[in-house]
Structure 1
Amino acid sequence: MGIRTYNPTSPGRRNASVSDFAELSRGATVPKHLKVRQKKTGGRNNQGKITSRHRGGGHKQQYRLIDFRRNKDGIPGKVESIQYDPNRTCRVALVFYADGEKRFILSPEGLLVGATVLSGPESPPEVGNCLPFSAVPLGTQVHNIELQQGRGGRLCRSAGSSAVLVARESLWAQITLPSGEIRRVPSNCRATIGALGNAEHMNVVLGKAGRKRWMGIRPHVRGTAMNPIDHPHGGGEGRTKGGRHPVSPTGKSSKGGGTRKPRKPSSAFILKRRKSRRYGQLKLR
C-alpha cells in the first residue's frame, strides 16, 4: 500500500493525498448476505437528543459483516479477494471456506489472494491464521484479540495495529498493546497472527473540509464563539479566553486526566497502564 498525492490544481487539492489502493482486488464484489443497510443516526439517541456531537450527513454506506470470532475450526479457507471497507481503516479479505461458506475477515499485512487461512488450536502460527494464545509462540505479533473466550476480537482492529505476546503462564497470557499498556488475557482467548495492513492510513492528508463531510463529520465550533446559554466559555464583551480551564458544553474538563472508573472489574487484568502525553505514566488504581 502507498500514498498518492494530488497535483495542486486547486487549494483543496494542494497537499492532499489518498491511498493508492494497490492491494485491492480489481472487480471484486461483496456477497449480498454479507452486507446490511446502515442507518444514519446523526449522533442522536432514541429520544432524538444529540449524544455525540459533530455527526451527520456523509456518504451512504453498507455495513460489511465481519467474522471477528473466527470459529470455523479445522476448515481451510481460501482468500478470494482483498476489498475496501468504508466502515474501518483496514482492508477486509473475502474467504471461501471448503464447506461452501463465505466470510469476511480483517486482512493482515502480507495476506495475499489465493492464500489459505485456518482457525483453531491445531493451526500453524502463520499470517492470517487464528489460534488461542496457548498455541501462539512468544514474541508473535497478533491482532483481533479476544478478551473473553468466544465473544470475538475486541482489541487491535484498526489499520496497522498489532499487539505482542510477551509471556504466558498457566491460564493467562500477557500482551503488550500499541498504547504501551501491558495486559493479561485468558490463554484460551483467540487472536489472529500478524499485524493489520494499510499502515500508511495515518499519513493520508484530507486537504479540504469537504472530505471530512463525506465521512459524516460536521464542523466543530469553538465554545468561545458561542453565547453563554450554549457553552460555559460563551459570552463576554469582545474576544475572551473563556475565563476558566477548558471544558465541554456540559462542564466536564477537557484537559484529560483520569476518566476510568476506580473500581472497574477489568482493572485487575491490567499490569501496567499506558503512558499519557500530558500526565506521563498512568498509575493503577
Structure 2
Amino acid sequence: MIFKHKKLCFFKKKNSGRSNGKISVRHKGNSHKKLYRKIDFLRNKFDIPAKISRFDYDPNRNIELALLKYNDGEYKYIIRTNNMFINKNIISSLKKSNFSSGNSTLLKYLQIGTTLNCIEKYPNSGAIFSRSSGTNSELIYKDNKNAIIKLSSLKKKKISLNCKATIGKIFNRIKKKMYKAGQNRWKGIRPTVRGVAMNPVDHPLGGGEGKTSGGRHPCSPFGKKSKGYKSKK
C-alpha cells in the first residue's frame, strides 16, 4: 500500500515524451497513473518544531519522504535523511540550533566537514544540490561571505553563507530487481530496439543481409554520431 497525504498531492499532466505532439524523447509512454508530492525545499517555517509522522513512498523519485507535522497543525513533506525515526523532532532555524540529522540552518553556523544535503544555490531560492538517493555534500571552506561545498560528483561549488542546508546524508533506498518486463512498462519505459535490427527506412544502421553490424559509425536514428563523438564544439 502506498501512503500519501492527499492535501500535499496533485496530478501532473503526462506528455509521454512528446513536445507539440511530436516525440522528442523516445521509449516513453503508457505509465501507471501517479500523484506528484509537494516537497518543502524552502524549509521556511522557522523555529517551529515538527514531529516526523511517518515515511512515505514517492513514485517520482528514488528517495523516501518524511511527513512532518508542525506544532501549528500544518503538514509538509521533506526528503528523508539517515538517522531519522518516527516521532523525532525536526526544526528549521536561522539561528544556531541543534545540529541533528534533518535539521535545516544557514551555512554560516555549520562547522567545516559537516555532511549536508538539500543545499540552496542562492539564499531563499529552494534546495537544488544533493537531493538524490544516497548523496551528500561536504562543507570544506568558509570565509566572511562565501562557503565552498564538495558535491558527490567531487565538483566544488562556491555559494553564499546565507544559503540554507539540511544536515545529514540522504537515506539510500534499495533499488529492487525487476522480475519481468512489465514492471518497466508500469514506469512508462517502452521497449528499446537496436538500430541494426531495424529496416533501412527506420534507422541509418538498418538493413543488410543477415546480421550485419551497420557498416558505418554508430549513430542515432537522426544520423548524429554516438559512441565517443564530441558533440560540443
Structure 2-normalised TM-score?
0.90
1:156 partner amino acid: S
Matched with 1:176 is 150
Aligned CA-pair RMSD: 2.1
Greater Cα offset, 204-213 or 86-95: 204-213
1:205-244 mapped onto 2 (5 Å cutoff): 205-244=177-216
For 2:216 and 2:111, locate their aligned partners in 1 and report how far apart those are by CA, in whole Å: 52
Cα distance, 1:200–1:238 mapped onto 2, change above 3 Å: same
Cα distance, 1:184–1:256 mapped onto 2, change above 3 Å: farther
For 1:135 and 1:257, locate their aligned partners in 2 and report how far apart those are by CA, in whole Å: 46
For 1:251 and 1:242, locate their aligned partners in 2 and report how far apart those are by CA, in whole Å: 12
Matched with 2:91 is 118
User: What SS is found at the alignment partner of 2:174?
Assistant: helix
For 2:5 and 2:177, locate their aligned partners in 1 and report how far apart those are by CA, in whole Å: 32
- 1:68 equivalent to 2:66? Answer no
User: Following TM superposition, by how much is the alpha carbon of 1:236 offset from its aligned partner in structure 2, in angstroms?
Assistant: 2.7
User: Following TM superposition, by how much is the alpha carbon of 1:259 offset from its aligned partner in structure 2, in angstroms?
Assistant: 6.1
Structure 2, unaligned stretches of length 5 or more? none
CA deviations over 1:50-76 (Å, ceiling 9, x no partner): 111111112211111111111111111
User: Following TM superposition, by how much is the alpha carbon of 1:96 offset from its aligned partner in structure 2, in angstroms?
Assistant: 0.9
Asked if the contact 2:3/2:57 (under 8 Å) is kept, the reply is no
Asked if the contact 1:160/1:200 (under 8 Å) is kept, the reply is no
Asked if the contact 1:125/1:137 (under 8 Å) is kept, the reply is no
For 1:28 and 1:218, locate their aligned partners in 2 and report how far apart those are by CA, in whole Å: 24
For 2:216 and 2:2, locate their aligned partners in 1 and report how far apart those are by CA, in whole Å: 54
Matched with 1:156 is 130
Cα distance, 1:258–1:174 mapped onto 2, change above 3 Å: farther
Asked if the contact 2:62/2:173 (under 8 Å) is kept, the reply is no
Asked if the contact 1:161/1:196 (under 8 Å) is kept, the reply is yes
Asked if the contact 1:28/1:81 (under 8 Å) is kept, the reply is no
- The number of aligned residues is 232
1:53 partner amino acid: R
User: What SS is found at the alignment partner of 1:95?
Assistant: strand
User: Following TM superposition, by how much is the alpha carbon of 1:157 offset from its aligned partner in structure 2, in angstroms?
Assistant: 1.3
For 2:72 and 2:193, locate their aligned partners in 1 and report how far apart those are by CA, in whole Å: 53
Asked if the contact 1:72/1:119 (under 8 Å) is kept, the reply is yes
CA deviations over 1:114-152 (Å, ceiling 9, x no partner): 111111232322100112221222111111121122221
For 2:180 and 2:36, locate their aligned partners in 1 and report how far apart those are by CA, in whole Å: 26
CA deviations over 1:210-230 (Å, ceiling 9, x no partner): 111111111111111123333
User: What SS is found at the alignment partner of 1:200?
Assistant: coil
Cα distance, 1:38–1:134 mapped onto 2, change above 3 Å: same
* Seq. identity, %: 42
Matched with 2:66 is 93
Structure 1, unaligned stretches of length 5 or more? 1-26, 263-285
Matched with 1:127 is 101
Cα distance, 1:227–1:149 mapped onto 2, change above 3 Å: farther
Given the alignment, which residue of 27, 32, 49 partners 1:59? 32
